[in-house]
Amino acid sequence: MNKMWLIAGVLCLSVGATAASNTVDNQNSCEDTFLAASGKNKKHSPDRQKNEEQKEAMPSFLQLGGDYTYVSFKPAGLPSFHGNLGGAQVSYEYKRMDSFYGALTTDWKQGHMHGTDGKRHLLYIDVQERFGYTATCAQEKVMFTFFTGLGYRHLGHKFIPSTGSVLYFRYNELYVPVGVLADFVAASWFTLKLEFTWMPQVYPTVSIVPLKGARWILTEQLANFYGSIPLDFTLTKGKTFHLVIEPFYERWKDGHSTAKTSTGIPLGLPGNTYNFWGVNVNFGFQF
């Protein structure tokens, strides 16, 4: 009789242990199902969180480099000029995912252009301040940044005609950049970027040195834009150092003069059209 009670006790303990084990398994299965449905993964969640924290911890990007530019310059109704420019640029960006975007860019280049009427020395200086918003999608592998701001452009010409005296033209123009940046993360070491900026003028002027520094107001031009395809290569695992190769195209126009003589005769300074093709090579530091 005692043996029968002992056997019954062992069977009860075995059944209880099995039921408890099934309950734990069911709870784990439910937890895994919930995490999968919510897009989380227990095993990889810490790694993903670490990557996100690393991105958020380095929102600043400083770039410095040089550029080569081929320029085609066409004054309205006059022969065109062509030449080569070289220079440097530096930029700073503050970009957080799904948050505020701010940037400051400066660009300097100069060189010579030649035409049938003579030659020109061109000095190009551009400063641009930007602010906007960055939105992310596709699990943060794609970012779109929309921005506006204020820009200043200086174009200095030293015109040496085939016959006659040397002339100096100094164009100073304020404009409002309106643009979009797109970042496509193709791999841990490479990001393809696209940029398009529209640059309508708001206050363009020109001064001519032989005319004792008189400043003329020009007609505003709206058909100014810049497009580029930056190729961003990450050089270190920590994503601190970058090499950015950026082919670009820019179209810019100077308006014609609006000034008239006391008798109402236009002074007749023609408008200009510039086409710039080139490439920037920058070293970047992300922090």
Type of residue found at 181: L
Say which residue the tokens 């990001």 belong to. Answer: 191
Looking at per-residue pLDDT, the higher value among 31 and 190 belongs to 190
Q: For residue 260, what is the DSSP state?
A: B
- What are the distances in angstroms from CA 62 to CA 93, 266, 282? 7, 47, 10
The C-alpha atoms of residue 23 and residue 166 are separated, in whole angstroms, by 94
Same domain, 219 and 275: yes
The C-alpha atoms of residue 263 and residue 241 are separated, in whole angstroms, by 62
Looking at per-residue pLDDT, the higher value among 37 and 208 belongs to 208
Q: Count of CB atoms within 10 A of residue 237's CB?
A: 8
The C-alpha atoms of residue 33 and residue 27 are separated, in whole angstroms, by 10
- What are the distances in angstroms from CA 199 to CA 96, 174, 216, 247? 25, 9, 21, 19
Same domain, 35 and 97: no
Q: What is the pLDDT of residues 132-173, one digit of tens each?
A: 999 999 888 999 999 999 999 999 999 999 998 999 999 999
Beta bridge partners of 153: 126, 173
Q: What is the pLDDT of residues 206-259, one digit of tens each?
A: 998 876 657 889 999 999 999 999 999 999 988 999 999 999 999 999 999 887
The C-alpha atoms of residue 182 and residue 136 are separated, in whole angstroms, by 10
Phi, psi of 46 (to 5 degrees): -60, -40
Q: For residue 257, what is the DSSP state?
A: B
Per-residue pLDDT, 265: 66
The DSSP H or E segment spanning 274 is: strand 272-286
Per-residue pLDDT, 259: 75
Same domain, 13 and 141: no
Residue 202 structure tokens:
């708001």
Number of structural domains, the chain? 2
Per-residue pLDDT, 210: 74
Q: What is the pLDDT of residues 60-80, one digit of tens each?
A: 999 999 999 999 999 999 999
Could you tell me the pLDDT band of residue 10, with boundaries at 50, 70 and 90? very low
183 occurs within a structural domain: yes
Query: Are residues 83 and 69 in contact, defined by beta-carbon separation less than 8 angstroms?
Result: no
Per-residue pLDDT, 211: 66
Same domain, 133 and 220: yes
Q: Is the pLDDT of residue 2 over 60?
A: no
Q: Is the pLDDT of residue 17 over 60?
A: no
48 occurs within a structural domain: no
Where in the sequence is the domain holding 152, given as residue range(s)?
59-286
The C-alpha atoms of residue 167 and residue 38 are separated, in whole angstroms, by 70
Decide: helix, strand or coil at residue 74: strand
Q: For residue 211, what is the DSSP state?
A: G
153 occurs within a structural domain: yes
Q: Is the pLDDT of residue 6 over 80?
A: no
Q: Is the pLDDT of residue 121 over 50?
A: yes
The C-alpha atoms of residue 95 and residue 44 are separated, in whole angstroms, by 26
Looking at per-residue pLDDT, the higher value among 100 and 33 belongs to 100
The C-alpha atoms of residue 22 and residue 5 are separated, in whole angstroms, by 26
Per-residue pLDDT, 135: 97
Same domain, 82 and 187: yes
Mean pLDDT for the chain?
Answer: 84
CA-CA-CA-CA torsion for 227, 233, 236, 239, nearest 10 degrees?
40
Same domain, 159 and 22: no
Give pTM, 2 decimals.
Answer: 0.79
Q: Give the residue-averaged pLDDT of 30-45.
A: 45
Per-residue pLDDT, 212: 64
Q: What is the pLDDT of residues 256-270, one digit of tens each?
A: 988 776 666 677 789
Range in 35-49, 113-127, 158-172, 190-204 with the lowest mean pLDDT = 35-49
Type of residue found at 283: F
Same domain, 117 and 252: yes
Per-residue pLDDT, 263: 67
Residue 262 structure tokens:
């006391």
Same domain, 101 and 10: no
The C-alpha atoms of residue 221 and residue 204 are separated, in whole angstroms, by 9
51 occurs within a structural domain: no
Name the H helices within the chain: 2-37, 45-57
